[in-house]
Amino acid sequence: MGKGEETKQAIVDQALELASTVGLDKVTIGTLAGATGMSKSGLFAHFHSKEQLQLQVLAQARQRFIDIVIAPALKQPRGEARLRAIFERTLQDWEQDLPGGCIFHAVSAELDDQSGPTRDYFVETQRDHADTMRRAAEIAIEEGQFRKDLDLDQFVFELGSITAAYHHFGRLLGDPGAEQRARNMFEGLLARSH
């Protein structure tokens, strides 16, 4: 990676941290210039538009999630152990990675009623994640760990609901019991899946 790419990577990392606390829409070339100490023209040379900056932030978030959660979980045995690793790494590592917690939860309300490439890319990342969870549950069925008639769409919906509730109750409401409640819900989901 050349110096220009290293600089751009450092800028995107800073923008991702900022977006996790103030929202994606407030990450502009101007606010990022202030946060990084770079000139607006220097930042503009890297991104050319606010939209391109936001797309880079989301792409970086997606890659970080893969690196922090998915790739290590794939080292676990197929099936339930892998699902447990994804859940555990999401709660312990991913939610703690950025100052504002899960960037995906942080920006979902911001982008849900918008249109355009930023929302389209975000929706793609979320569908990919849902497909990954669905495939992990399918593997658990194939391995004989989950029942054959498991409603995979319901499973993915409930799993996503658990992490969304954990983020909401833990971060927004400051509920000290949010993590344990999320774990209890996850164990209940797995028990109903056997």
pLDDT, one tens digit per residue, over 136-167 is 999 999 999 999 999 999 999 999 999 999 99
DSSP string across the chain: --HHHHHHHHHHHHHHHHHHHH-STT--HHHHHHHHT--HHHHHHHHSSHHHHHHHHHHHHHHHHIIIIIHHHTTSPTTHHHHHHHHHHIIIIIHHHSTTS-HHHHHHHHHTT--SHHHHHHHHHHHHHHHHHHHHHHHHHHTTSS-TT--HHHHHHHHHHHHHHHHIIIIIS--TTHHHHHHHHHHHHHHHH-
What was the pLDDT predicted at 2? Answer: 67
pLDDT, one tens digit per residue, over 48-59 is 788 888 999 999
pTM reported for the whole predicted model = 0.89
pLDDT, one tens digit per residue, over 81-140 is 999 999 999 999 998 888 888 899 888 988 989 899 999 999 999 999 999 999 999 999
Q: Which domains does the chain have, with CATH numbers?
A: 54-193 (1.10.357.10)
What was the pLDDT predicted at 151? Answer: 98
Is pLDDT above 80 for 4? no
Is pLDDT above 90 for 189? yes
What was the pLDDT predicted at 46? Answer: 78
CA distance 147 to 141: 6
Pick the closest to residue 120 from 54, 192, 39 (CA basis). 54
> Cα–Cα distances in Å, from 1 out to 8, 52, 90?
10, 20, 29
pLDDT, one tens digit per residue, over 28-71 is 878 887 777 777 787 777 777 888 889 999 999 999 999 999 99
What was the pLDDT predicted at 1? Answer: 61
